[in-house]
Amino acid sequence: MTHIDTAATVSKSRTAIGGLSDRPSEKDADLETTEGRIEWFCAYFEIEPPKLQYDEDEPDQIVLTDDLLKWIRREGINMDWAFCGSVSGALAVHREKYRVTPEQEEWAELLEKFDAHELSIVLAGLKQAKEPGINIDSAMLSVSEQIKAYRSNDSEAAAN
């Protein structure tokens, strides 16, 4: 069984992406409190922290002021994580944005079979098919004919 050091792998990939390994570690942060999570987030992304206002009746409770809500939207912080410590909401958003559906995977496998020139023909045909009054079947037939002609010319050139 192979052991993968995920912390080292993530650290290396972050460094390759843009030096994120220089940022504060989650290990050293107070991620048990809202204030600690906001402090870590601000340090990690090098942004100014929001001004926090506390409830007069419950002094340990942060008030969601208009300014704080604007800061949340502007900085893109996940409220479930920031205020409750829950990562499930952030994971759900990430998964929905980046997961590959079976249909997308099928498209990717089909498109991998084309070279760069053929992909440009397909893209032009798809753009044309979006135009008002253009029949998609006709546009795709034209794409098919152009690719056949390209491949025919390419094979003739290779034979010479």
Q: Both 94 and 111 in a single domain? A: no
Shared domain check, 93 and 37: yes
> 54: which strand partners?
62
Residues 16 and 93 in one domain: yes
Q: How many domains does the chain have?
A: 2
Quick check: is 1 in a domain?
A: no
Total Cβ atoms within 10 A of residue 41: 20
Question: In terms of domains, do 125 and 86 share one?
Answer: no
CA distance 16 to 99: 22
Q: 79 and 62 in contact (C-beta within 8 Å)?
A: no
Q: Whose CA is closest to 147, among 111, 108, 109? A: 111
Q: Are residues 11 and 75 in the same domain?
A: yes
% pLDDT > 70, the chain? 84
- Identify whether residues 80 and 12 lie together within a single domain: yes
Q: Are 129 and 139 in contact (CB under 8 A)?
A: yes
pLDDT in tens, 22-56: 788 888 899 999 999 999 999 999 999 999 999 99
| pLDDT attached to residue 8 | 46
Same-domain status, 88 and 111: no
Q: 61-74, pLDDT tens digit by residue?
A: 999 999 999 999 99
Range of the domain at 43: 6-98
Report which DSSP code applies to 1: -
